[in-house]
Amino acid sequence: MSETPLLIQADDPYLASDVVSEMLKQLRALDTYDNYQGWPVEKIIDPLVLSKERKREIPIVGDPDETTLARVKAYYNAIASLIEKQSGLMAVPIINISHEGFGRALVIVGKLIVVDKILRDVHRFGFPSLEDLSTKTESVVEKAIGLIDQFRVVAES
C-alpha cells in the first residue's frame, strides 16, 4: 500500500501563521485516540489541502466521513478561537451538518452572529493551499471583528 505524497512541505511559510497554528491545535484537540501522536505538523494539516488532482479523486456526490466532519469542526473551532483572541469575548461555533454533507456553521459572540456559512458538499472540504486557508480564514475573522466592533453591546450581552 503506497502512501499519498504530502502537498505541504516542512519549510512552507504558512505553517507558522496564526490560522494554521490554531488549526493544528484544534485538530490535535479532536484527536481523542492520539492518531496524530508523533506526526509532523505538515502531515496533520496536509489533508486540508485539496489540489485539483486530489479533488478529482473525491466523488461529486458523497457522504462525509467522521474524519472530514472532525476537520470541519476543527476549522470553525479555530475561527472561534481566533475571534476570541482578538476580541476578548467568548466565541462559540455551532455546526449542523446532515449525513449528506449539507448544513450551516455559525459563530456566535454574545447574542451576535459573527460568522454564518452555508455548508455544501462537506465531503470535499478543503483548500487549494495553506496560503488560501490562511487568507480566507483571516478575512472571515476580520469581518467578524468588524461586526463585534460595530455591535459591541450585542456581542457583550
Q: State pLDDT tens for residues 43-82.
A: 889 888 888 888 888 778 878 888 889 999 999 999 999 9
pLDDT digits (tens, 9 = 90+) for 98-135: 988 899 999 999 999 999 999 998 988 889 989 999 99
- The domain in which residue 17 lies consists of 13-155
Name the residue with cell 496560503. Answer: 131
Q: Give 22-27's long-range contacts (Cβ < 8 A, gap of 24+).
A: 22/78, 22/81, 22/82, 23/48, 23/74, 23/75, 23/78, 23/133, 25/78, 25/81, 26/73, 26/74, 26/75, 26/77, 26/78, 26/81, 27/70, 27/71, 27/74
Residue type, 22: E
Query: How many folded domains does the chain comprise?
Result: 1
Contact 50, 128 (CB under 8 A): yes
Query: What value does the mean pLDDT take over residues 25-31?
Result: 90
Q: Would 136 be classed as within a structural domain? A: yes
* Residue 132 within any structural domain of the chain: yes
- What does each C-alpha distance from 68 to 53, 89, 110, 148 come to in angstroms? 18, 28, 28, 30
φ and ψ of 27, to 5 deg: -65, -40
Q: Is residue 5 part of a domain?
A: no
DSSP state of 127: B
Report residue 14 as a C-alpha cell: 504558512
In this structure, what are the phi and psi dihedrals at residue 34, rounded to the nearest 5 degrees?
A: 55, 40
Kindly state whether residue 49 falls inside one of the protein's structural domains.
yes
pTM beyond 0.75: the answer is yes
Q: Is residue 6 part of a domain?
A: no
CATH number of the domain encompassing residue 85? 1.10.3100.20
Residue 84 lies in a domain: yes
Residue 5 has pLDDT above 60, yes or no: yes
